[in-house]
Amino acid sequence: MLLDGYPRPAGRTQLRVGVVGMGAGTLAAYGRRGDYYRFYEIDPAVADLSRGAHPIFTFVQSSAAHVDVAIGDGRILMQEEVARGESQNFDILVIDAFSGDAIPVHLLTREAIEVYLRELRGPDSVIAFHLSTAALELQPLVAVLAADQNLDSVEIDTSLAEWVLISRNSGILRMPALAHPAHPIQITRVIKPWSDDYSNLYQLLRW
């Protein structure tokens, strides 16, 4: 919904989209001609399912967008890009690495958010977290991390997934394409923002 409804500024039809966690590459299907999608995937075997002469998944090869795949830890790769002065200027950055049985904590810290922000094009850019996990309620943590950086956040629940969107521009989170499903995040307990030196999974357990 965000990828379909994100406003394309006058005079610039291209969208730049980053995705941490490739999976089957399904998000590439939203790409339009002229768009740029960059997947960060830590497991080369996962990426290989969408590449080569006979891929298992064809979303990447069938996409109308130009698609790149960077192999390695997404946060580390982005840190290296920023350090080289090669910010990707993403309009949308999707963090989609939390559906497995182990949470990559380093993608949900204050320092990680700072890296993500430096990869964005500007104040209208959006970071989208896919947070569908059976054991943990991660939405309040992301809301706290957003507030820590003076960012706005909203939650989107669908029958298939749970998302949190954050941005410097609260208006972009209330655009018509998101008006119905988006709502404020309820925080019912005290949560300290995670950092590279502190995390607490226990306080996020679904009881």
Reply yes or no on whether the pLDDT at 9 is more than 70. Answer: no
Per-chain mean pLDDT for the chain: 91
Is the separation of the CB atoms in 51 and 60 below 8 Å?
A: yes
Structure tokens at 155: 């939650």
103 CB contacts (<8 Å, ≥6 apart)? 133, 136, 138, 201
Rounded Cα distance, 204 and 207, in Å? 9
* Alpha helix stretches (DSSP H) within the chain: 2-5, 44-48, 59-62, 74-83, 110-118, 139-148
List beta partners, residue 18: 38, 93
Q: What pLDDT was estimated at residue 101?
A: 67
Q: What pLDDT was estimated at residue 94?
A: 97
Give CATH superfamily name and number for 2-204: Vaccinia Virus protein VP39 (3.40.50.150)
**86-111 per-position pLDDT tens digit:** 999 999 999 999 876 678 999 999 99
Is the separation of the CB atoms in 162 and 132 below 8 Å?
A: yes
**102-151 per-position pLDDT tens digit:** 789 999 999 999 999 999 999 999 999 999 887 888 999 999 999 999 99
Reply yes or no on whether the pLDDT at 11 is more than 80. Answer: no
Residue 77 CB neighbour total at 10 angstroms:
18
Q: What pLDDT was estimated at residue 142?
A: 96
Rounded Cα distance, 207 and 80, in Å? 39
Q: What percent of the chain has pLDDT over 90?
A: 70
**12-51 per-position pLDDT tens digit:** 778 999 999 999 999 999 999 999 999 999 999 999 999 9
pLDDT band at 1 (very low <50, low <70, confident <90, very high): low
Rounded Cα distance, 164 and 142, in Å? 7
Q: What pLDDT was estimated at residue 62?
A: 96
List beta partners, residue 155: 164, 183
Q: What pLDDT was estimated at residue 25?
A: 96
Phi, psi of 189 (to 5 degrees): -145, 165
Reply yes or no on whether the pLDDT at 10 is more than 70. Answer: no
The ranges assigned to domains in the chain are 2-204
3-state helix, strand, coil in the chain (%, to 5): 30, 20, 50
Average pLDDT of span 71-92:
97
Q: What pLDDT was estimated at residue 90?
A: 97
